[in-house]
A and B are shown apart, each in its own frame.
Chain A
Amino acid sequence: GQQVMQIPQYQHVQEGEDFTTYCNSSTTLSNIQWYKQRPGGHPVFLIQLVKSGEVKKQKRLTFQFGEAKKNSSLHITATQTTDVGTYFCAGPRRGETSGSRLTFGEGTQLTVNP
């Protein structure tokens, strides 16, 4: 079954509002990756988190990995129309710590009203 669950499925915000998407797993993840897919485009890697409690920032994007390594979040401050797209988290299969088999969350589709 699905390893990582992602919420919400859809999010509509006004430009300038903040946005957060959450990724949850029932088991401990060795690491988690985040991808962004623009409308009509393909998924593009954003970041990978490995350490418990890790927080990483990319300009207005803040990524967190939970202390128990079972959840992660992506927070965008003051959204812009360029942030529109679907954000995916991706984690390894149960028990795997390396290799290539990632399971993608269902994605959160973000729309930003100008």
Chain B
Amino acid sequence: DTAVSQTPKYLVTQMGNDKSIKCEQNLGHDTMYWYKQDSKKFLKIMFSYNNKELIINETVPNRFSPKSPDKAHLNLHINSLELGDSAVYFCASSHYRTSGGFDTQYFGPGTRLTVL
């Protein structure tokens, strides 16, 4: 069984469109993330949710809106897509530790978004 899954795997769309990416994890984790990886492989966190509550919101345009309907799901909706949004978007999940370090993050397979 896939631990962290994302759909779709590939997304090709025109500039100005609105699109969504879905993520689900079956690991029982309480924290989920969205990362953006650009063409240079730089991995940058965008958002993190703990128990459906937003806990990390990096400097990301308002066009990006995450939604977590429950602990196992974290979706990403993007409005008015721009050329610069082209990247690979990774969902990840982990346990949130209140002490004693950081837990392992498990990544989904990624969604390659191409904006034309």
Contact = CB atoms under 8 A, between A and B. Distances in A.
Contacts of A50: 101
Interface stretch (A17-25, A38-46, A58-66, A76-84): A38-46
B48 A101 contact: yes
Interface string B99-113: 111111111111000
B97 A98 contact: yes
A106 B99 CA distance: 27
A86 interface: yes
A104 to B, nearest CB: 4
B45 A42 contact: no
Contact of A48 (B40, B42, B104, B106): B104
Contacts of A48: 101-102, 104
A78 to B, nearest CB: 25
Interface in B75-116: 90, 92, 94, 96-110
Q: Is the interface of B mostly helix, strand, loop or mixed?
A: strand
B100 A98 contact: yes
A17 to B, nearest CB: 22
Interface in B23-46: 31, 33, 40-45
A92 B102 contact: yes
A18 to B, nearest CB: 22
A52 interface: no
Given A42-B110, A43-B107, A44-B107, A104 B43 contact: yes
B112 to A, nearest CB: 9
Contacts of A35: 105
A42 B92 CA distance: 10
What are the nearest 4 A-B pairs in CB distance?
A42-B107, A104-B43, A45-B104, A98-B97
